[in-house]
Structure 1
């Protein structure tokens, strides 16, 4: 309870500071919303000509994109300060975090709040909400729980491939190129059905950089398309655990390297 209170106080203090310049606040949120939606506009244009991609309709791909973007928004809203980890370490700010009477990870998460991340989250929620009204899903309590867990698990998976490489900063003072590479991979591929790629790409996106578990794997369960999975369909219900596993490993690595 105390940690939740501290988190809320840090976030609200940061927001109050930025709200002194309300026009900048609105511009930041609008920029995040527009930027996050550009990728879906491209998908809409392509599928407007070809109707479907790999057997997936525009509405079904919109579901994938909405899930991916919402997960990304959940991650960035909570860990937006990680984008500046290189500077934080080089300038000695991280050392000051370690001596403050507050958990280091809490300071890293909520010490400074980027308003543009609200645009990412809002864009994802809008696209996901519209997609859910257009696709045919045989809803059940289990599928509702899976959707909620998949969004959180996707955020953890996205974050794991930012937090883990960020540990490099304590050795090299720079991790942005690696983090940028993983961010680009997640952004480019997690909003598409993994089944449309060739065998080598599917292996990479399933088992090396497992972006398939952000949206495609749970979406196949929601849409009753588990026949496309390269493993028994019931395992698709466990897809959020990929995020839990990866973020646990990344968190351990980050804390270990920071000592």
Structure 2
């Protein structure tokens, strides 16, 4: 059986409204088990705390990482983690699309009036993501005064754009993996690889790595645009980059562009969906 894509056109406002209604229903279901919710949030905080402790250990030993001082490293870490939380709170189910396909849930979604992607995203919430978001905001709250960044409206606006752009960028990479799951069914390895790359390299100034890896994390896998380029621009370190400073300042736009491309790829793959039960 081949699953057709619904020809019904939904405006953005209607799509957001449907997502909000379904997400609210998922949240109400989650709140029935408040102890479990609390433990998941604490688990997320603990997991991210381990990563921060590793960075702290390196700073205690070497005092700087790639010439970046502790406050600057915390700003970089806080940017990446907050953006990670911003995308996973609403979109964490992108990590489980292959599971929904293997269980033939996608077949049911194709027969309903709501968008398939909206239904997938609201299958259930991922409470651990709230811990990621809370941890990222806490790190940023400490890092911003430590780096003495200007509180000018322009820089504050750029910081907010950088967070939104980084969240969209990470979401776009997982949306591509979700789209591949429509054809491949099993994409867990790709999902884990993407997460591992962000967790392994996203918390450090990329200048500490060799030229080949730096360019790979810029052009092939655009992790540099998520936190490192915006942080370098905010801190006035854009002179150390291997790209023009204007590219670093324009980093938030990369997330918007990539999520648009990823969504088109998702639509293309969905048009060729074949049920796992066929």
Residue segments in structure 1 that go unaligned for 5+ positions in a row: none
Partner of 1:28: 40
Q: Does 1:69 align with 2:62?
A: no
- Per the TM alignment, residue 14 of structure 1 is displaced from its structure 2 partner at its CA by 1.3
Paired with 1:52 and 1:156, the residues of 2 have a C-alpha distance of 30
Q: Which residue of 1 aligns with 2:144?
A: 132
Please name the residue that 2:112 is paired with.
100
| 1:60 has 2:72 as partner | yes
CA separation of 1:137 and 1:19: change in aligned 2, threshold 3 A: same
Gaps of 5+ in 2: 1-12, 272-278
RMSD over aligned CA atoms reads: 1.3
TM-score using structure 2 length:
0.89
The answer to whether structure 1 residue 189 and structure 2 residue 201 are counterparts is: yes
Question: Hey, what does 1:226 align to over in structure 2?
Answer: 238
Greater alpha carbon shift after TM alignment, 216-225 vs 166-175: 166-175
1:85 partnered with 2:85:
no
Counterpart residue number, 1:242: 254
Q: C-alpha distance in 2, partners of 1:165/1:18?
A: 26
User: 1:138-160: per-residue Cα shift (whole Å, max 9, x none)?
Assistant: 33222111111111111111112
What's the secondary structure of 2:124's corresponding residue? Answer: coil
Q: C-alpha separation between the residues in 1 aligned to 2:147 and 2:106?
A: 46
Question: Following superposition of structure 1 onto structure 2, how do residues 82-231 of structure 1 map, counting pairs within 5 Å?
Answer: 82-231=94-243
Distance 1:119 1:106 in 2: 23
- Of stretches 183-192 and 13-22 in structure 1, the one that deviates more from structure 2 is 13-22
Give the whole-Å Cα distance in 2 for the aligned partners of 1:37 and 1:230: 31
Contact map agreement 1:79 1:108 (CA 8 A) in 2: no
- Larger proportion of helix: 1
Secondary structure at the counterpart of residue 32 of structure 2 = coil
State the aligned residue count: 259
